[in-house]
Structure 1
């Protein structure tokens, strides 16, 4: 059944829906200063697919993610969200009309994956930025330790010879393929810790899959940056609990956490949907 979303607000706000996912644009962040963290060396594009509803495992959500690797720091984010952020940031700086901004929200939308991950920032740690409804969060934690087992199996991924490794992280076991031809201990999401770049990964339940589709050497001066947006600092588990609460009752979450935003969801017949809930299959199980 299709859902149609309507909203009213006491301030200018951008809101989009993907299936049942409600995303509220953070316009305050588009005018925020960008802090340079590192110089970009090369970028990796990953095709990511994941199961949001375990009752329908064949219904995959797909996303293009980018891993930008610098001399010391790396940044991992949704390419769709990056494009939307770039366009809206330009709109805000140009003082574009609300109509133009709304048109761009409909045109570009936001990615299904909301977090942005910085590895080795600060040094030896991992910083994750995320947004749930109107709330911005930051998690800073030690780089996760993954006990990898390296196997003799080989595979070619994106033209690179790779070795197989297996290891577990936050309740899921992963089979990954890494290449010694790119000796950077990094990979998609929070995966890292091998003597080469991880180009392909999948958990044993086949719920989350990452595969490199392209690698580009940086040929121009470019920076890895982080927005100096105000964020609430929480633990990893506290953030996961926020996502769990939001997906169980998005309208209720917004009512409590953003009382100046009213959200109404209607089906294709124009009937109100009093309570919306999203299937929730987090990548982190513990």
Structure 2
């Protein structure tokens, strides 16, 4: 099936400073989904990311979902979730290429490209990601996070929460969890507390996750994983690829996807022949 190219541009600041989002949709991944678990409840998180510490006023926002099942949880972008739902229906119904193109333009994809499955397979964390036209999977044991629980309390989303702190992948984190929801889970890779994490941020305030809503599943719904070919790599290898891609997205695509032509324009419609994105990864080591 022909690969589709979707471009989105976000103006950051200044006359010539732009962050470009380049996503090449893998339409083949919508053909078959692998059921992993039954959905129990969903937590919506408002995520703030400071992608360029030299421009602290330019904060990237993303809405993420933690879909929690009986044993497995799934964490990924709400924007991507909506796009996936529409495109999956298009593929299954045999929609025209024009309709698919229109939906790609209409829905787009999230800023956060990865999808995280906790406790799948049992005791493991599986992360799916896509850079240019390549799909990757990182499989690693669920990390035992060393938390320190503090007496401080706060109310988040109507739930009484307690403070906890930890150090993870080069950043220090402050988290707030509620024992009222006895699920040891949270946004991103955070887990391991005696209750659901409703808020977390690193001490530099580069990454912040705060729950904005919790919804019980009222209908039969599944946590699923798209069945598609993926290259298995390590966490650090994937982070290096993201670093290379952000340093020169067009050059990266030219080398790794030579059959794809990319044209990037700024907010005024002027073509940008070479660009780079600020890169402030959540994992520093």
Q: Structure 2: which 5+ residue stretches go unaligned?
A: 11-19
Structure 2: how far apart are the matches of 1:269 and 1:168? 43
Structure 2: how far apart are the matches of 1:184 and 1:267? 44
Q: Does 1:195 align with 2:194?
A: yes
Per-residue CA distance 1:154-213 (angstroms, 9 max, x = gap):
000000000000001100110000000011110000000000000000100000000111
Per-residue CA distance 1:22-51 (angstroms, 9 max, x = gap):
1111111111x2111111111111111111
* Higher alpha-carbon deviation: 121-130 or 97-106: 97-106
Q: Does 1:24 align with 2:29?
A: no
SS for the counterpart of 2:155 is strand
Contact 1:42 1:69 in 2 (8 A): yes
Contact 1:266 1:273 in 2 (8 A): yes
CA pair 267-153 structure 1, distance change in 2 beyond 3 A: closer
1:218 positional shift: 1.2
1:92 positional shift: 1.4
Aligned match of 2:216 = 217
Contact 1:163 1:179 in 2 (8 A): yes
Moved beyond 6 Å, runs of 4+ = none
Aligned match of 1:158 = 157
* Root-mean-square deviation over aligned CA pairs: 1.4
1:271 positional shift: 4.8
SS for the counterpart of 1:264 is coil
CA pair 149-270 structure 1, distance change in 2 beyond 3 A: closer
Structure 2: how far apart are the matches of 1:21 and 1:153? 39
Q: Structure 1: which 5+ residue stretches go unaligned?
A: 1-9
1:265 positional shift: 2.5
Q: Does 1:172 align with 2:163?
A: no
Structural mapping, 1:76-95, within 5 Å: 76-95=75-94
Structure 2: how far apart are the matches of 1:151 and 1:12? 50
Structure 2: how far apart are the matches of 1:60 and 1:270? 23
Contact 1:149 1:166 in 2 (8 A): yes
1:54 positional shift: 1.2
Aligned match of 1:67 = 66
* Higher alpha-carbon deviation: 170-179 or 15-24: 15-24
Aligned match of 1:105 = 104
Structure 1: how far apart are the matches of 2:38 and 2:236? 31
Aligned match of 2:4 = 13
TM-score, normalising length: structure 2: 0.94
1:16 positional shift: 2.1
Contact 1:16 1:105 in 2 (8 A): no
SS for the counterpart of 2:60 is strand
SS for the counterpart of 2:264 is strand
* Higher alpha-carbon deviation: 220-229 or 167-176: 220-229
Structure 2: how far apart are the matches of 1:39 and 1:156? 29
